[in-house]
Amino acid sequence: MLTSGFSRYLSRKIAWYGLALIIAIALNFFLTRLIPGNPVQSMLSQLTQGGGVSSESLERLYQTYMREFGLDKPLHVQFFEYLGKVFRGDLGTSFMLYPGKVMNLIGEALPWTLGIQIPAILVGWLVGNILGALASYKGGKFDGTIFTTALVFSNIPYYGFAILLVYVFAANLGWFPLSGGYSMGMFPGWNLEFFVDVLRHWTLPFLSMILVAIGGQAIGMREMAVYELTSDYVNYSKALGLRDKKIVKYVFRNAMLPQITGLALSFGTMVGGALVTESVFSYPGMGSLLFSAIRQNDYPVIQGVTLIITLTVLLANFLVDIAYGFIDPRVRASQLGER
């Protein structure tokens, strides 16, 4: 049963994150309009590349598309219409893939991104934290080896590592495909042949992300554990004669709190976190969709993708705040002004 203090803490957090969501939706709408260029003109220039269209026809097409997409209305009217659609679950129609619905495009791209990001985040977090904790506890050569290796991998940019993997294992050795989510000419389906093909395309993007993630998590966990091992409460516990197993349990529990925050934030940013990696591998995920939309001024798709990213980030932060308030009463009291 929730206490009154926790209920007030929860209510305050819901109000804050609700306000943050509205501000984020507003920024999401207005910032996309700052991108130089007119999306309708870009679309018409692609449609009329072969020539043979009179200026009168072009003007009629331009006015028709402007009305169709609502771009002929004042900006504030467009905003309130957009706001109403968002709360009805309608993210609009793509300019460049007309009449494709944004929700459908996101629905097609999202599984590819989640298929890479979720395993990379979970495995990277788990392996990285175990290695970091072991390094801090064991010390010596083991610590030196883990720390140096993790430092190297954590400082390699995702895209740099991705390009290296493509060059070595795809371009030179030919062990894996150069790009894409599956081979051209293959039809998606629930069969072994398609699954193996998808796995071959998935391997290099996954490796480019997980090795860097393991390095970063190992460094973070090692630093936190080393700090905790030198804390006063550890020395006091040793002086009281507590067993090492008991002390280590306290140390790693305290060291895990920032790591749990990092895990939640990783989930929050995973939708947009693979933008560069997906671009390098031409992987058909949310990153590629967003990159393509930005290049073509496709406002509805940009807004749809960034809205999904915003929602996941806010949800992750909200859950972390609630978890902190539930686990640690000091956090709750501080937020409510009770200390």
The predicted pLDDT at position 47 comes to 67
In this prediction, residue 268 has a pLDDT band, given cuts at 50, 70 and 90, of low
The overall average pLDDT reported for the chain is 82
pLDDT at res. 199? 92
Contact predicate 250/233, CB 8 Å: yes
DSSP three-state, residue 37: coil
Cβ–Cβ < 8 Å for 255, 231: no
Task: From residue 172, give the alpha-carbon distance in Å to each of 178, 182, 196, 278.
Answer: 10, 20, 21, 20
- Could you identify the residue written with the tokens 């610590």? 143
Q: What is the pTM of this model?
A: 0.76
Give the residue among 316, 272, 302, 306 at the shortest CA–CA distance from 117. Answer: 272
Please list the alpha-helical segments (H only) found in 69-154.
75-87, 102-138, 140-154
**pLDDT above 70 (res 149):** yes
Phi, psi dihedral angles at 74 (to 5 degrees): -55, 155
Tell me the Ramachandran region of residue 183: left when phi exceeds 0, alpha when psi lies from -120 to 50, beta otherwise: beta
b/e map 157-169, b = 16+ CB within 10 Å = ebeebbeebbeeb
205 touches 164 (CB < 8 A): no
Are residues 208 and 192 in contact, defined by beta-carbon separation less than 8 angstroms? no
Provide the pLDDT confidence category of residue 132 given band limits of 50, 70 and 90. confident
Residue 59's pLDDT is what?
80
Query: How high is the pLDDT of residue 88?
Result: 86
Q: Whole-angstrom Cα distance, residue 270 to residue 263?
A: 10
Residue 175 three-state SS? coil
The pLDDT score that the predictor gives to residue 40 is 77
Q: What is the pLDDT of residue 203?
A: 92
**Mean of pLDDT values over 193-218:** 88
The answer to whether residue 2 scores a pLDDT higher than 60 is: no
User: How high is the pLDDT of residue 19?
Assistant: 92
- The angle, 0 to 180 degrees and rounded to 10, between the axes of the packed helices 102-138 and 244-268 is 160
pLDDT of residue 312: 83
Does residue 1 have a pLDDT over 60?
no
Coil, helix or strand at residue 93: strand
Residue 269 backbone phi and psi in degrees, to 5 = -100, 5
Buried-state track 216-234, b at ≥16 Cβ within 10 A, e below 16? bbbbbbbebbbebbeeeeb
Contact in structure between 307 and 28 (CB atoms under 8 Å) = yes
Residues 62-95 pLDDT 10s: 888 787 777 888 888 888 888 888 888 888 888 8
pLDDT tens-digit map of 280-296: 888 888 888 888 888 87
pLDDT, tens digit (0-9, with 9 covering 90-100), for 221-241? 888 888 888 888 888 887 888
User: What tokens does 184 get?
Assistant: 């051209």
Q: How far apart are CA 209 and CA 274, in angstroms?
A: 8
Judge contact between 20 and 314, C-beta under 8 A.
Answer: yes
Report which of residues 43 and 221 the model is more confident about.
221
Q: What average pLDDT does range 153-173 have in this prediction?
A: 85
Q: List, for residues 105-119, the tens digit of each pLDDT value.
A: 999 888 888 888 889
Tokens coding 88: 């009805």
Q: How many Cβ atoms sit within 10 Å of the Cβ of residue 126?
A: 13
Interval 146-169 mean pLDDT: 84
Beta bridge partners of 93: 101
